[in-house]
Amino acid sequence: MNRIFVFLGCLFALSGCLNDETNTQNGRNNGDFIGPHQDPDPEIRFGVVWGSLVVDSGRVKEGQSLSHILDAYKFGSGKVATLAANAKDVYDVRKMRANSRWWIASTSDSLNIPAWLIYERNAIDYVVFSLGDTLGARLGSHPVDTLYHRVQGEISRSLYLDLEALGAPSSLSISMAGVYAWTIDFTHVQKGDVFDVYYSHIISNGKPVGIPVILSSSFTHHGEPLQAYLFNQGDGEDYFDPQGASLRKAFLKSPVEFSRISSSFNKKRFHPVLKTIKPHLGTDYAAATGTPILAVGDGVIIKSAYTNNNGNYVKIRHNNTYETQYLHMSKRKCAVGDRVRQGQTIGLVGSTGLATGPHVCFRFWKNGVQVDHRQEKFPPSAPVRDENMKAFAKEVLRLEKEANNLN
């Protein structure tokens, strides 16, 4: 028996030595020492002591509601109704969306009673529902960091692939398409085009959130450098060239991002379905079924219908001069009378009507006559106002200095 006590005494002594060594390596002083009756700092997640809980997780399924999720945990319908009512001023549970993540944390005792439900609204924001005696909710957010980067390169394959090869997020190509949507048709970038982009990216939980924000950019297309600087003169952020002219024109160059032109505007085109010469008074953009079709400018929906030739189609009146039409949609996402904004999704690419494959036939009217929109020149939107030019020039210098410091 004495030998056993001696062995245990040695074991505790050894354990103390190991703890002492570990604490020294972790930078703890004597006051930080964790004795045999002390717990280490608890794991905190979503503002909740996490380590002592049993956690299940999943994603909201199509058609699921708060009650569907809690049913599996024997959380009565009456308590669900009370929880929803108590939480309403903080978060309306009817806004829960399919594929969003959730966690349910329950007590680790034999009763396994659900204590918390966390619903992730997006990559940064979440809702913590209290499922205990006090039914309610609070909002929370993950810590975020903003990182700044500069990437320079030359087109050899495609903007998407070349950015990826340089270690930049491929989503940066989407940001660039947004900046230059009114000046560059990205279906026609060519080898030798050069780009130099200074951008920021939000990081949360070690992962990028959303798409990068371009702060300044230069894209040399067909030998012509096109510069852009982000500036807010009180009307919201916009991109301007070094002289203060807006890069935003009256219309987007294309109704589909990163598509390809499969058939151009042609008054003597051979129709692939009808097998006859028939004018093609539009431009076909080939893209995968389901690709979003964007309104190329602000306007009002004047037609949203189906015909045998056009399939599902939408027509927009932009002003007294211009109208646009989008044909062969798999699905329409607007109705007659809707007001739409530039870049808003109005439908999805399909092959309805007289079509041999998925694409959108884009048609453009000017003063009631169909014209080739790719040959039209549109005036720019509002430039930097005179009273803001000094502030704009200062911002341009600041952005250029920051970008140069990242070399």
129 and 175 within one domain: no
168 and 216 within one domain: yes
Q: Pick the last residue of a domain from 141, 174, 200.
A: 141
150 and 112 within one domain: no
d(CA 91, CA 104): 17
Distance of CA 17 to the CA centre of its chain: 52
For 358, phi then psi, to 5°, come to -65, 125
- Residue 3: its pLDDT value, please? 40
129 and 219 within one domain: no
Domain annotation covers residue 226:
yes
Q: Pick the last residue of a domain from 211, 240, 269.
A: 240
- DSSP E strands: which ranges in 190-296? 194-204, 207-221, 224-232, 237-240, 260-263, 270-271, 276-277, 283-286, 292-294
Digitized pLDDT (tens) for each residue of the chain, 407 residues in all: 444 333 334 433 433 443 433 333 333 333 333 334 444 566 888 988 887 899 999 999 999 999 999 998 989 899 999 999 999 999 999 999 999 999 999 988 878 889 999 999 998 999 999 999 889 999 999 999 999 999 999 999 888 899 999 999 889 998 998 898 888 877 678 899 999 999 999 999 888 888 999 999 999 988 889 999 999 998 889 999 999 999 887 888 899 987 788 777 676 555 555 556 667 788 999 999 999 999 999 889 999 999 999 999 999 999 888 999 999 999 999 999 998 988 999 999 999 998 889 999 999 999 999 999 888 877 777 899 999 999 999 999 999 999 999 97
Domain annotation covers residue 249:
no
- Residue 349: its pLDDT value, please? 96
266 and 207 within one domain: no
186 and 233 within one domain: yes
pTM of the model: 0.66
| SS3 state at 34 | coil
Domain annotation covers residue 166:
yes
Q: Pick the last residue of a domain from 207, 240, 273.
A: 240
Among residues 244, 261, 260, 241, which one has the least CA distance to residue 183? 241
- Residue 103: its pLDDT value, please? 95
357 and 339 within one domain: yes
342 and 273 within one domain: yes
- Residue 250: its pLDDT value, please? 80
166 and 113 within one domain: no
Domain annotation covers residue 253:
no
Distance of CA 67 to the CA centre of its chain: 29
Q: Which helix H or strand E contains 389, and what residues bound it? A: helix 389-405
Q: Tell me the residue range of the domain where 341 lies.
A: 260-375
